[in-house]
Structure 1
Amino acid sequence: MSLQALLFDVDGTIADTEALGHRPAYNRAFRELGLSFRWGPKLYRKLLKQPGGRERLKYFFLKYHPPLGEHEEEAKAGIDAWVARVHELKSHYFHRYMRRGRVPLRPGVARLMREAREAGLHLAIVTNASRKTLEPVLKYSLGPEMMAEVEVIASGEEVKNKKPSPDIYLLAAQRLGLKPEECVALEDSEMGLEAASAAGVRAVVTVNSDTIEQDFTEASLVVSGLGEPGAPTRVLKGQLSGYGWVTIDALKLLCEAPKSADPESLVA
């Protein structure tokens, strides 16, 4: 199959929103509510195994039983309502951080999107995030000019099962009118890789500080980032012979290679 589309995950892939936006926003919300606990990087990496923000909050409250002080009875009376309240406040601060430009695009994202459109490829956003959570990232990190090139957005509230289920990737391919084999996913996490693989979409993983130790055995290519001319990426699995950054030609070879091929030979 020839490559027809790039499907971009958002959090951690397009921008380091988890480390620079979401985790600080959660902690700001906890502080605003008078709660004594904070989410550090090590704990947050564990919480990222949950498929979304509300799921992370609920899992944390039920598993770790943090001291809620004056909010204890409110949470016990309805954990889902309490989680929704905390998440709403967190979203307010996340939007503020995005608006202030604290979360730029990861290197290579704008370049690869531009090169994809110049090559006649389709672009899609495929994320577990809700459209409400996604909106500030699209508005302030990607911006209106780049968003005008994105044809499809598939978000978490549109499917019955979020990543690691394949549902959201299948939905994106369907909306583009393409087969999964004609797409390449750009992901940063084991959860996203599992979703793409289950949907039959080849995946390139661009790791970050929250995901670098996860299992990416099923990935066709694993890199430290997409890279730029003058700022090359580091290849952790696979090859980028002749280039120091991820190119459209390299992704085309990924899409065309037999799935049984040795991962080390997928990108020549």
Structure 2
Amino acid sequence: MSLRAVLFDVDGTLADTESLGHRPAYNRAFRKLGLQMRWGPKLYRRLLKLPGGRERLKYYVQHYRPDLGAQQAEVDADIDAWVAKVHELKSKYFRRRMRHGKVPLRPGVARVMREARREGLKLAIVTNASLKTLRPVLRYCMGPELAAEVDVIASGEEVAHKKPAPDLYRLAMRRLDVKACDCVALEDSEMGMKAAVAAGVAAVVTVNSDTVEQDFERASLVMSSLGEPGAPARVLRGQLPGPQWVTIGALRGVLEQSKPRPARAA
């Protein structure tokens, strides 16, 4: 068992794309369509338990029964087509927010990626999002230079089952040609953590305002962020080997700690 790859989730892990990008973009799309509904932080946290933007929108319409006004006829005729229309408009506003620099990388992300590459490790992005949704993150949030360091992308439209199923992690590992015992996953949510753990991958969680109250009992380490030398992070669960910011050395320590211990002789 030795660390060979670091697998990054996107939304909430690389950047606070949910609170700073997707949710405002949904609300802008709703206003553009003349809808009275608005997704506040508390409601959006509930919806984030579902895997994917289209799934959240469809669930909201079917279970919350909002007043859709003139849009109701379209929903009644073909809810999936209506969801696709709204999601496309949301994506337009999301790309605009990314292009205008509204969604920066979270602390430590660029540093950990660059350190991983210097040490010869492989990098993957593992996300429920589609490639179309991911591209603005790569271009405007990460930037071309950092995005070029990523070896593999596994996106939601490529698998039958999104997170919390392990399919995306298994796909990424096949493409990287690595085993689960050689990887650490960086996630921000219970759903993502479950996907990594189900694939046999040790999970390090960096929480955000949308996920801080979720259950991370099965995570190897839970932090407030990856941290920086000038801005240490808080350890919320587990033990961080070394300083109060995540390094590749610390991830190696996490992997070692997650290794199954041999049973003691009776």
TM-score (norm 1): 0.96
When the two chains are superposed, the root-mean-square deviation of aligned CA atoms in Å is: 0.9
Task: Tell me how far apart the structure 2 counterparts of residues 213 and 230 of structure 1 sit (CA, whole Å).
Answer: 26
Displacement after TM superposition at 1:258 (Å): 4.6
For residues 25-47 of structure 1, what are the alpha-carbon distances to aligned partners after superposition, in whole Å with 9 as ceiling and x for unaligned?
A: 00000000000010000000000
Task: Tell me how far apart the structure 2 counterparts of residues 157 and 254 of structure 1 sit (CA, whole Å).
Answer: 30
Query: Which residue pairs with 1:266 in the alignment?
Result: none
For residues 188-233 of structure 1, what are the alpha-carbon distances to aligned partners after superposition, in whole Å with 9 as ceiling and x for unaligned?
A: 0000000000000000000000000000000000000000011000
Query: Which residue pairs with 2:243 in the alignment?
Result: 243
Aligned partners of 1:3 and 1:256 also within 8 Å: no
Correspondences of 1:108-257 after superposition (within 5 Å): 108-257=108-257
Displacement after TM superposition at 1:241 (Å): 4.5
List alignment gaps of at least 5 residues for structure 2: 262-266
Task: Tell me how far apart the structure 1 counterparts of residues 258 and 113 of structure 2 sit (CA, whole Å).
Answer: 25
Determine what percentage of the aligned residue pairs are the same residue: 71
Match for 2:58: what amino acid?
K
Task: Tell me how far apart the structure 1 counterparts of residues 181 and 75 of structure 2 sit (CA, whole Å).
Answer: 45
The alignment partner of 2:143 has SS state of helix
The alignment partner of 1:124 has SS state of strand
Task: Tell me how far apart the structure 1 counterparts of residues 115 and 143 of structure 2 sit (CA, whole Å).
Answer: 17
Match for 1:101: what amino acid?
G
Task: Tell me how far apart the structure 2 counterparts of residues 40 and 69 of structure 1 sit (CA, whole Å).
Answer: 20
Aligned partners of 2:25 and 2:90 also within 8 Å: yes
Displacement after TM superposition at 1:13 (Å): 0.1
Correspondences of 1:23-102 after superposition (within 5 Å): 23-102=23-102
TM-score (norm 2): 0.97
The alignment partner of 2:205 has SS state of strand
For residues 82-108 of structure 1, what are the alpha-carbon distances to aligned partners after superposition, in whole Å with 9 as ceiling and x for unaligned?
A: 100100000000000000000000000
Aligned partners of 2:155 and 2:168 also within 8 Å: yes
For residues 62-85 of structure 1, what are the alpha-carbon distances to aligned partners after superposition, in whole Å with 9 as ceiling and x for unaligned?
A: 000100101111111111011001
Aligned partners of 1:187 and 1:204 also within 8 Å: yes
Cα–Cα, structure 1 residues 185 and 241, in superposed 2: closer, same or farther, change >3 Å?
closer
List alignment gaps of at least 5 residues for structure 1: 262-268
Aligned partners of 2:241 and 2:253 also within 8 Å: no
The alignment partner of 1:149 has SS state of coil
Task: Tell me how far apart the structure 2 counterparts of residues 246 and 200 of structure 1 sit (CA, whole Å).
Answer: 21
Aligned partners of 2:11 and 2:18 also within 8 Å: yes
Displacement after TM superposition at 1:260 (Å): 4.3
Of 241-250 and 131-140, deviating more is: 241-250
How many residues were matched structurally? Answer: 261
Match for 1:56: what amino acid?
R
Task: Tell me how far apart the structure 2 counterparts of residues 242 and 71 of structure 1 sit (CA, whole Å).
Answer: 55
Aligned partners of 1:6 and 1:121 also within 8 Å: yes
Match for 1:199: what amino acid?
A
Displacement after TM superposition at 1:259 (Å): 3.7
Query: Which residue pairs with 2:264 in the alignment?
Result: none
Task: Tell me how far apart the structure 1 counterparts of residues 178 and 259 of structure 2 sit (CA, whole Å).
Answer: 18
Task: Tell me how far apart the structure 2 counterparts of residues 203 and 240 of structure 1 sit (CA, whole Å).
Answer: 13
Task: Tell me how far apart the structure 2 counterparts of residues 258 and 137 of structure 1 sit (CA, whole Å).
Answer: 31
Displacement after TM superposition at 1:242 (Å): 3.4
Q: Is 1:22 equivalent to 2:30 in the alignment?
A: no
Aligned partners of 2:242 and 2:250 also within 8 Å: no
The alignment partner of 2:6 has SS state of strand
Task: Tell me how far apart the structure 2 counterparts of residues 172 and 128 of structure 1 sit (CA, whole Å).
Answer: 12
Task: Tell me how far apart the structure 2 counterparts of residues 216 and 63 of structure 1 sit (CA, whole Å).
Answer: 27
The alignment partner of 1:46 has SS state of helix
